[in-house]
Amino acid sequence: MTKSLFRQSFLKDTLETETEFTAKSLSTPDGVKMELSYRGVLEVTPKHLDKDSKHIIISCGIHGDETAPMELVSKMVEDIESGFLKLNARCLFIIAHPEATNRFTRFIDENLNRLFGNKPHSVNREVAIAKHLRALVDKFYQGTDESCRWHLDLHCAIRESKHYFFCCESSFKTRGKK
């Protein structure tokens, strides 16, 4: 068996906050490059990319207690690593707030999901995370065409929902027809 990038899984390793984080990378037998640069931050690049390739950010855990998307993301990562899931887009997977997840709480000081605007905030845990994530997102999209950029930020409903599954599009701009 090929060596894995993870001791247990992307999710379990991310949540092991007692263990010191070390950046690591590997290439799968399919030529997919997997780079774990920070705790909970994994970039995967397929062997072939062209100008039409998509650059997709899949984030979860912005609210620490919304665990279902984290399991989903971890499973996707496992399937990419094993070669079961064939990758044709460059992706950045983010499990955003392991400390809150470990405490079974949505956030510690402030709701992280409210910190991605341009309003100034006093410094706290979530403000620092938001700053870090914004820098990562900017770096990931650097040099890519805007029409090829996607960001799927996965959440769970905390109250009973009329729809089992729904999607809210960012109000900042409208996505192209593709």
User: Strand runs (DSSP E) across the chain, as ranges?
Assistant: 24-27, 33-38, 41-45, 55-60, 90-95, 149-154
| 155 contacts Zn ion (rule: CB under 5 A) | yes
Minimal distance in Å, beta carbon 155 to Zn ion?
3
Choice between 41 and 96, CB closer to Zn ion: 96
Choice between 121 and 155, CB closer to Zn ion: 155
Distance CA 130, CA 115 (A): 6
**104-143 mask for Zn ion (x: CB under 5 A)?**
----------------------------------------
Choice between 14 and 59, CB closer to Zn ion: 59
Distance CA 63, CA 97 (A): 7
| 90 contacts Zn ion (rule: CB under 5 A) | no
Minimal distance in Å, beta carbon 113 to Zn ion?
6
User: Of these, 63, 87, 101, 112, which contacts Zn ion (CB under 5 A)?
Assistant: 63
Minimal distance in Å, beta carbon 66 to Zn ion?
5
| 72 contacts Zn ion (rule: CB under 5 A) | no
3-state secondary structure labels for all residues of 90-103: EEEEEECCHHHHHC
The answer to whether residues 101 and 86 touch, using CB atoms and an 8 Å cutoff, is no
The answer to whether residues 101 and 61 touch, using CB atoms and an 8 Å cutoff, is yes
The CA distances from residue 125 to 74, 96, 108, 112, 148, in Å, are 24, 12, 7, 9, 32
Tell which residue, 45, 47, 43, has the closest CA to residue 30: 47
Choice between 66 and 126, CB closer to Zn ion: 66
**Binding footprint of Zn ion, residue count (CB under 5 A):** 3
Where on the chain is the footprint of Zn ion (CB under 5 A)?
Answer: 63, 66, 155
